[in-house]
Structure formats: C-alpha cells, structure tokens
Amino acid sequence: MTTEIPETARPRLLKGVRTRFDKARDTWLLLAPERTLELDAVAAAILAEVDGVRSFGEVIDTLAAKYDAPRERISADVRTFLSSLVERRMLEIDVP
C-alpha cells in the first residue's frame, strides 16, 4: 500500500518520533514508541530533508539536486519510504 502524497503536502515526523545518530552501533536510527528503525543512507538522507515546513515536492527537488539523480526515481523512493512511516504512525502528511 502506497499512500498518495500530493507535491504540495508537507510531511512531518510526529512528536515522539525522532532520528539520532548512535555511536554504539555507528548508524542513524529512527526512534519511535517501542520501535527502533535502523536507517540506511537513503532513508537517512530523506529524513534529513523532512522538517514539517518544506513540501513533498521541495524535498524531492532538494534530494534530486543534492544526489544528482532523476526526479522520478527520487520521487518514487521518497514516496515509498514516507508511506511506510505513515502506516506505522510515525509520520503525518499535512495536506494544505
């Protein structure tokens, strides 16, 4: 299941869900109620741009420019990952 995310919608991590770098395991993590997700490089890069202010479209633009990758591919990656966080009640998409 992939949630429809309009380009103008603003994704944000819910309160009580946060990233942190873990020195003991040498990796980025997403901490949430009773959950710990190990973030790979792609996931960490996406969440670094999700600030609750910028829109989904802006997040994709930023990542496409930063990693010099096709916009369609970035868009698909971001959509899949953010949808999985929505399903787990870790992220909300504010539709204007």
Residues 54/62, Cβ–Cβ less than 8 Å: yes
Binds other proteins (CB under 8 A): choice among 7, 27, 89, 94: 89
Nearer to other proteins by C-beta: 8 or 27?
27
Q: Give the integer Cα–Cα distance in Å for 18 and 13.
A: 7
Nearer to other proteins by C-beta: 20 or 71?
20
Nearer to other proteins by C-beta: 58 or 92?
92
Binds other proteins (CB under 8 A): choice among 36, 40, 51, 73: 36
Going by the DSSP 8-state scheme, the letter that residue 14 receives in this structure is P
Binds other proteins (CB under 8 A): choice among 17, 39, 50, 63: 17
Would you count residue 44 as binding other proteins (CB under 8 A)?
Answer: no
Q: Which helix (H) or strand (E) segment is 32 a member of?
A: strand 27-32
Cα dihedral: 41, 67, 45, 49 (round 10): 180
